[in-house]
A and B are shown apart, each in its own frame.
Chain A
């Protein structure tokens, strides 16, 4: 058994309202055959459709899970993104989930990428809790400028930045949401307790 990191879809169950990982066992959603009883833990992009998940799997289970078309097995974290093809794949996966990714470049390690993504999750998830709804619900997208974002959401962006002690002075009306999230995530990576760079649970732990 080995702990692997995956980027994987989130299913949104209704009645009960649960976010559950696709393919993995959950008490309200059966696992893909072959993945029963696999222990896992995760960090979600709250109420959105993607998560970073660790699972302790056998080699055949890893092959099964990573072979799903909508699952990405993250390479060893200290590997570097070797070429434009690999870079573009990372960008495509993240952007499809409304995670800004234009900053991902050849030569970066996967650890660098994942750590910044985790910071974006942290900011986004607090924002969602304040908004009390999904952020990317159709009213907002990454390419909107701050001045185009509905006023209520715009206010919470600044307020949540303040709650985390982030410097918002670099944000202007013409700043796009993608640039804003990256700007704040860069700050968070240095400000927050290093323990955010872990995914833990179900007896598993991965330091990012």
Chain B
């Protein structure tokens, strides 16, 4: 069971796929990049961006991202090319400082509800597929279960990654993605950025 991490340590302006070739654009052609050892959007303004980590994952997987500034950025799951994924984009400032889980299918976004409770600087947002029921998706904030969404079966399979709707200057850090039940990620001690971990 794989767990992958990225702390986005790199040169400012490096697109994520150049930082690590495992990062793949989900289809919006607005790749994310590294700035100040964090991840942010390349193109300013209201644009969708999404990248997934192109390794083998179980259909039941999770994704976590610490959000560090502005709006909207967060973890994505069930991500695939063609602009398809479930997102959980948080807004530290503006728009009620809420988090908005939802689905992005064929390049059109649909929030699943009116938004979830306040998030703050350095909140770790997580989307997770239930261990037994494919259509049940959990949203956690700092490890605390905030919401359970059922019947989310439009997408299946896919990979974990990062999603963004770049209204301002959304930044995130310390991404982690893996299989549900896949154990704890191990930070790469050799400075390579990302390593798989199996137990």
- B is bound to A: yes
Main secondary structure, interface of A, reads mixed
Contact of A46 among B100, B148, B150, B154 (CB under 8 A): B154
- How far, in whole Å, are A24 and B115 apart by their CA atoms in the complex? 12
Is B133 interfacial (CB 8 A cutoff)? Answer: yes
Nearest B-chain residue to A193, judged by Cβ: B133
Residues of B within 8 A of A20 (CB): 111
Is A176 interfacial (CB 8 A cutoff)? Answer: no
- Do A128 and B113 touch (CB < 8 A)? no
- Do B109 and A125 touch (CB < 8 A)? no
Contact indicator per residue, chain B 47-68, by CB within 8 Å of chain A (1) or not (0): 0100000000000000000000
Is A43 interfacial (CB 8 A cutoff)? Answer: yes
Instruction: Please count the residue pairs between chain A and chain B whose beta carbons lie under 8 angstroms apart in the complex.
Output: 107
B103-138 residues with Cβ-Cβ distance < 8 A to A are 105-116, 133, 135-136
Is B140 interfacial (CB 8 A cutoff)? Answer: no
Nearest A-chain residue to B111, judged by Cβ: A26
- Do A196 and B150 touch (CB < 8 A)? yes
* Shortest Cβ gap from A134 to chain B (Å): 8
Instruction: Name 27 interchain pairs, CB-CB below 8 A, sorted by A.
Output: A16-B109, A17-B107, A18-B111, A19-B108, A24-B114, A27-B95, A40-B113, A42-B112, A46-B110, A122-B151, A122-B153, A125-B153, A126-B153, A128-B105, A129-B106, A129-B154, A132-B105, A132-B106, A193-B135, A195-B151, A196-B153, A200-B149, A200-B150, A201-B112, A202-B114, A202-B147, A203-B147
Instruction: Tell me the A residues contacting B by CB distance below 8 Å.
Output: 12, 15-20, 24-27, 38-44, 46-47, 118, 122, 125-126, 128-129, 131-133, 163-164, 192-193, 195-198, 200-204
Instruction: Tell me the B residues contacting A by CB distance below 8 Å.
Output: 46, 48, 82, 84, 95-96, 98, 100-101, 105-116, 133, 135-136, 147-151, 153-156, 165
